[in-house]
Structure 1
Amino acid sequence: MTLDAQTLFLSMWVNVTLMSCALAVGVHWRQKTSRTGIHAWSAALLCQSAGWALLMLAFRGWPRGLSTLGAAALVASVGCMYVAVQSYLRRPVRPAWVVVPPLAVAVVHWLVFSHFGARIAVVNGVLGVQMGWLAWALLRPGAAASSWRWRWLAGAGLAASAPLVFGRMAIALWAPERYPAFDSPHWLNALGLLVNNACLTIGTLAFLLAHRDEAEQALRRLATVDGLTGVLNRRTLLERAEEQVALARRHCQPLAVLMLDLDHFKEINDTRGHPAGDRALELFADALRLTLRQPDLVGRYGGEEFCVVLPMSGLDAVRGIDARLRERLQHEVGPLLGFRLGFSAGATQLQPDDDGLGAVIARADRALYAAKSAGRGRLVLEGTQAAGDAGPADRAVLPPTPTIDP
């Protein structure tokens, strides 16, 4: 069986058109949120479909401008692939890499239109560079920001297509008599069209895998993280904290628990509105995360209440965290909110006779209640007495427990 170039062109156009339609129906219309990566790949397929259609029409005798637009569309399709790759690798997109190549190809293609070899060389040279760079971006060791499966599928397809594209450019420049027309029967032209068609299908599969991986990560995040503040939700916090308690007991290490509650939070909602209250929670959680160490756990325990678990730490570490957090709220968060944000805090330490995390949290919660009863804006450690006149609000107050000699 002989596969002529025109049949391969038509087959490729049908293939990419059907795949882009299938993505539109199967992915875009079934989701309410935007997914930049899969949208960019769908745009790449649409550009491919438009490019091949315009080139086939120009070959049939339509105005030569269609050929120029078709060449620019093919180059633009690889630019859209670049956006998809950067999106799933979580890297910034440089707009110039998307806009400049198709514009430059369109201008040069129009200027050298009378020279078929130059046209082929320009378009295939740019396509080859784009494909080679994308293959390197996907396959290089530092690209392991996500699952290797989709990266290797997409990268292998691009790596297979790029040499054949460069091969067409070489023939057009150095052996133009062997590639005199768009539908030349040269074996390299036919092989390139076959491989390109197959690689577009493989690429669609690769980016569907990337899309699925992204969706799974989003679901895992929703299951473990509080949607407003970005810290752990209560269930996940308690699960991970139990693990830390078990490790502390096994290795005879200290562990502290700190409970924090925003002061007068209902008043913030009532007087400034719930958006201001949500903003206060977000900024407080951000400040708390920045104040803690890498191993520390922080989660939203209730409405405006947060719980911090400090592995390998005692009450001295709690004092330092409390002081730094109050300073950060005063100098960084307050100016952003437009009002002062304070909190009350209670803390305790894991004891040998504790029967689990619940006992530790209960004692820290009692200390927090003592801090609020004593006038708020202070830290109370288990076993201390929080006096109402011990200090001004928004400062840690740690009076010693009074003792009476017999």
Structure 2
Amino acid sequence: MNLDARTLFFSLMVNVLLMSIALSFNVRWRSRSGIRAWNASLMIQALSWALLIAAYRVLPREMATLGVAGLTGAMSFVYVAAKTYLREPLVKPWLWGVPLVTTAVHWLVFSNYQARIAVTNAALALQIGWIAWVLVRPRARPQTDGRWRWLAATALMMSGVMVTGRFFLVTFSPEAYPSFEAGHWINTLGLVLTNADLTLGTLAFLLAHRDEAERELQLLATTDGLTGVMNRRQWMASAEVHVRLAERHVQPVTVMMFDIDHFKQLNDTRGHAAGDAALVRFAQALQGAVRQPDLVGRYGGEEFCVLLPQSDAVAAKAIDRRLREALARDAAPAQGLLITCTVGVAEWRPGARLDDLLAAADAALYRGKAAGRDRLEVGDISFGADRTPPTTG
């Protein structure tokens, strides 16, 4: 079968355009979704191939240079897509530098066919190799699924091999590659593989898009949407694990329950927007006051809970002190009022369950509110009549 390079270029353009249109209609876009960058890459590539084909008939220098600018710019959008899904910052020189330099050099050396083709393919090979390395390097985020990264890198590396092949072909055997429509097997195979690579790349970034959506759903299921801390359900499940570990290893664990003072009055006098802002500020201050292993959750309304693994009431009092300092230092100027809280603390003792800890902390909290609020009270666990603490000795 004789494959015509011009036909392959045209089919490549149509294939890329159709994939871009299909993505536009079938993917739910989000502001930071990498699939948007990938789709932009497909659109720009389709336009670039059209410009390169048209360059043989009208404004060859202008059309060809714009086409090369588009191809290198499209690779920059692939880089943006990869970095977005890896949740890593962009390196700006890789984003803008290669397309700008390649476009300028292509324009300047346009009259030298061998030089301009060599420059274009060298730039594309550099971009493709760098993006493939970014995807599979050892320090790529471990929490990202490796399947889409390796699939995308494989597609890139296949394309990169053929781009490099064209570079060496035009550099060392220019008579065999007199135009980008030449029927040399490297050029023909490269066009066939590019079609396949774009399909693989689309599949890879759709997988990345799906993984990102699953992470967001998991976050929504476990996180309080307003404050960003654990929601009650997730906090209870995580705290239960720590209480069981404390029981198994006979290690201390402490629960703190926080209630923002006069929160209803704040809502009534300054509105719910001010109340929401106070909740966010309080949660931020609380997260800054606790230690790395401590569990912070919104228990309900203006109540928050913290579980302190392997810690007693002394550690709880230290967190309480840091929290009050942070509220006075940071939250008060931002809100225009001093946010205070009442805190109930309960230490685990053998035989206690999470419900016992919460009940003891809640009772201590209400004692603090009855005593005037803005204070910390330590409670004591009392077992019901149907349960007795285990005996030792």
Aligned partner letter, 2:121: N
- TM-score (structure 2 length as normaliser): 0.93
Aligned to 2:283: 285
Q: 1:253 aligns with which of 229, 238, 251?
A: 251
Aligned to 2:347: 349
Q: 1:151 aligns with which of 138, 149, 153?
A: 149
Aligned to 2:261: 263
SS of the equivalent of 1:59 reads coil
Aligned partner letter, 1:41: W
Aligned to 1:8: 8
In structure 2, distance between residues paired with 1:56 and 1:293: 61
Aligned to 2:206: 208
Structure 2 unaligned spans of 5+: 382-393
> Are the equivalent residues in 2 in contact too, given 1:121–1:173 (CA < 8 A)?
yes
Establish whether residue 20 from structure 1 lines up as the match of residue 17 from structure 2. Answer: no
Q: Cα distance, 1:25 vs. partner?
A: 0.6
Q: 1:231 aligns with which of 229, 232, 236?
A: 229
In structure 2, distance between residues paired with 1:36 and 1:300: 29
Which sits farther off after the overlay, 368-377 or 345-354?
345-354
Inter-CA distance 139–176: structure 2 relative to 1 (3 Å threshold):
same
Establish whether residue 47 from structure 1 lines up as the match of residue 44 from structure 2. Answer: yes
Establish whether residue 101 from structure 1 lines up as the match of residue 98 from structure 2. Answer: yes
> Are the equivalent residues in 2 in contact too, given 1:40–1:80 (CA < 8 A)?
yes
Aligned to 1:372: 369
Establish whether residue 166 from structure 1 lines up as the match of residue 164 from structure 2. Answer: yes
> Are the equivalent residues in 1 in contact too, given 2:331–2:339 (CA < 8 A)?
yes
SS of the equivalent of 1:306 reads strand
Q: 2:63 aligns with which of 66, 71, 77?
A: 66
Aligned to 1:121: 118
In structure 1, distance between residues paired with 2:153 and 2:274: 46
In structure 2, distance between residues paired with 1:331 and 1:287: 10
> Are the equivalent residues in 2 in contact too, given 1:117–1:172 (CA < 8 A)?
yes
For each residue in 1:262-284, what CA deviation from the matched residue of structure 2 results, as whole angstroms up to 9, or x when unmatched? 11212222333322221221121
Aligned to 2:309: 311
> Are the equivalent residues in 1 in contact too, given 2:250–2:350 (CA < 8 A)?
no
SS of the equivalent of 2:334 reads helix
Q: 1:92 aligns with which of 89, 93, 106?
A: 89
For each residue in 1:220-260, what CA deviation from the matched residue of structure 2 results, as whole angstroms up to 9, or x when unmatched? 00000000111110111111111111111111111111100
For each residue in 1:72-96, what CA deviation from the matched residue of structure 2 results, as whole angstroms up to 9, or x when unmatched? 1111110000100110010112444
For each residue in 1:15-52, what CA deviation from the matched residue of structure 2 results, as whole angstroms up to 9, or x when unmatched? 1111101100110xx45x33430000000000110111
Establish whether residue 141 from structure 1 lines up as the match of residue 138 from structure 2. Answer: yes
SS of the equivalent of 1:143 reads coil
> Are the equivalent residues in 1 in contact too, given 2:13–2:46 (CA < 8 A)?
yes
The count of corresponding residues between Structure 1 and Structure 2 is 380
In structure 2, distance between residues paired with 1:338 and 1:126: 55
For each residue in 1:147-173, what CA deviation from the matched residue of structure 2 results, as whole angstroms up to 9, or x when unmatched? 000000011111122122122122222
Structure 1 unaligned spans of 5+: 385-406
Aligned partner letter, 1:317: A
In structure 1, distance between residues paired with 2:183 and 2:106: 23
SS of the equivalent of 2:55 reads helix
- TM-score (structure 1 length as normaliser): 0.90
In structure 1, distance between residues paired with 2:19 and 2:377: 63
In structure 2, distance between residues paired with 1:155 and 1:238: 41
Identity of aligned residues (%): 53
> Are the equivalent residues in 2 in contact too, given 1:164–1:188 (CA < 8 A)?
yes
> Are the equivalent residues in 2 in contact too, given 1:59–1:182 (CA < 8 A)?
no
Aligned partner letter, 2:176: R
